[in-house]
Amino acid sequence: MLRSKCVVVMAVLTGLSACLYLDGINEPPEVSMRLATDTELVYIGEQVWVDARDTRDPDGDSLTFSFTLEHSGSGDDPAPQPCLVSTQPWEYCFVPTAKVTYTVTLRVTDGRGAVAVGDPLEVHVNNREPQVDCRFDTYPKPNNHFVVGREIWMTGLGSTDPDQGDVLRYHWEERLRPLDSQTADFVMQPSDITGEPTDEDASAVRLLVVPDVPGSYEVGLRVSDGPNGENLSDLCQLFFEVDPDEEPCIASTSPDFASGTLVFDRLSVRRLEVTGVTDDLDPYPGGADGEADFIWMIELSPGEGFVELSGYGFPYLDIDGADFALNQRVRVRVIVLDRVSHDLSSCPVDLDTCALRAGCFQWITWEIEFL
């Protein structure tokens, strides 16, 4: 609808004023634009609505809305995504894909071609703090303790970031270890998901710790989502106790080493075998961390002394009776080894068994007679 405009004019000769009515003068629209979200904080992956419904035209003309969107990031930033929803002509919706500042500009044209451009609306995309999660990848002993010298794996794989597309970086830190722990012997190595050592925070999702002394230990993990470690999460703490590595124990053999003198036929081959070893780190049959190793020794006649069968670390020894004389008596000894060296000097060499603690045998001896 056209409005009449009254323009005041002055008569040149008479000095009188008059009101001259002119039809057809068109005024431009008045632009009003605001951010229509439930909160002032905007995040990646969430819909952002811009509302210009309060825009009006003084002449009551119909209006055409044209929104444009720009951002402050680089050309490498992913383009914002449109909202897959229907909108009114005065509405605009987009989904941020980067932590940048988006600028929305609105150009409004009325039905007779008058154009108005509103003040740009800046939309700052905020960053949410990542959520850290840390836990043990290695099972402890039944008492929930670990053992000196054992590899202890920890993981931060459960950590997350609520902002789509953010790359997490893992920051492990030593928080506590015993005063007598030596840096040269203590291992704390960030590693990637395959267990390979890494110096890159973005791939250091796992941590390897090898304690060198008994006592209390603690490590911590924070995650960040910035390239320089900014926007750190809270601290996730892992506390654990470490016990000494106890001596391995020969638990069972075949034949039973306590059954007395064995009689072997000189025309046959017989096997001496350790069938069970209990140990913190290297049990036999083997556990997750390795297997026990053995030393075999033989004394060919009483009082002669034991000679090691060097280079033979298996849990069994085959005895060929043809290698021995009729009525010959020999003693065969097996010693179970640990990855930590234990002093066996307190055991007299002539004793058939060595037990550093009651019921736990580090060596046993068979006596054999050949007939």
Q: Could you tell me the pLDDT band of residue 123, with boundaries at 50, 70 and 90? A: very high
Q: What is the pLDDT of residue 354?
A: 95
Q: What is the pLDDT of residue 88?
A: 95
Q: What is the pLDDT of residue 62?
A: 95
Q: Beta strand 152-155 with 363-370: parallel, antiparallel or unpaired?
A: unpaired
| Rounded percentage of the chain residues whose pLDDT exceeds 70 | 92
pLDDT, greater one: 346 or 38: 346
Tokens representing residue 273 in the block: 């075998």
pLDDT, greater one: 303 or 169: 169
Question: Quick check: 245 pLDDT over 80?
Answer: yes
Asked if residues 44 and 163 have their Cβ atoms less than 8 Å apart, the reply is yes
Q: Could you tell me the pLDDT band of residue 108, with boundaries at 50, 70 and 90? A: very high
Question: Quick check: 286 pLDDT over 80?
Answer: no
Question: Quick check: 47 pLDDT over 80?
Answer: yes
Buried b (16+ CB within 10 A) or exposed e, 329-365: ebbbbbbbbbbbeeeeeeeeeeeeebbeeeebbbbbb
Q: What is the pLDDT of residue 342?
A: 84
Q: Could you tell me the pLDDT band of residue 352, with boundaries at 50, 70 and 90? A: very high
Q: DSSP class of residue 16?
A: -
Question: Quick check: 84 pLDDT over 80?
Answer: yes
pLDDT mean over 133-147:
93
Q: What is the pLDDT of residue 16?
A: 53
Question: Quick check: 318 pLDDT over 50?
Answer: yes
Report which residue type is found at 261.
T
Cα angle: 57, vertex 60, 63; to 5 degrees: 60
Domains of the chain: 27-126 (2.60.40.10), 135-243 (2.60.40.10), 249-370 (2.60.40)
Q: What is the pLDDT of residue 290?
A: 56
Buried b (16+ CB within 10 A) or exposed e, 236-251: bebebebbebbbbbbb
Strand, helix or coil at 323? helix
Q: Could you tell me the pLDDT band of residue 149, with boundaries at 50, 70 and 90? A: confident
pLDDT, greater one: 224 or 10: 224
Residue with tokens 């995650």: 223
Question: Quick check: 321 pLDDT over 80?
Answer: yes
Question: Quick check: 95 pLDDT over 60?
Answer: yes
User: Is the bond leading into 348 cis (omega within 30 degrees of zero)?
Assistant: no
Question: Cβ neighbours of residue 167 under 8 Å, at least 6 residues apart?
Answer: 202, 225
Average pLDDT, the chain: 89
Q: Could you tell me the pLDDT band of residue 166, with boundaries at 50, 70 and 90? A: confident
Q: Could you tell me the pLDDT band of residue 11, with boundaries at 50, 70 and 90? A: very low
Q: Could you tell me the pLDDT band of residue 292, with boundaries at 50, 70 and 90? A: confident
Q: What is the pLDDT of residue 1?
A: 43
Q: What is the pLDDT of residue 68?
A: 96
Statement: the pTM of the whole predicted model exceeds 0.85: no
Q: Could you tell me the pLDDT band of residue 12, with boundaries at 50, 70 and 90? A: very low
pLDDT mean over 186-196:
97
pLDDT, greater one: 89 or 226: 89
Asked if residues 240 and 145 have their Cβ atoms less than 8 Å apart, the reply is yes
Is 36 buried (19+), middle (13-18) or exposed (0-12) by CB count in 10 A? Answer: middle
pLDDT mean over 202-228:
94
Question: Cβ neighbours of residue 304 under 8 Å, at least 6 residues apart?
Answer: none
Give the number of other Cβ atoms within 10 Å of residue 93's Cβ.
17
Q: What is the pLDDT of residue 2?
A: 45
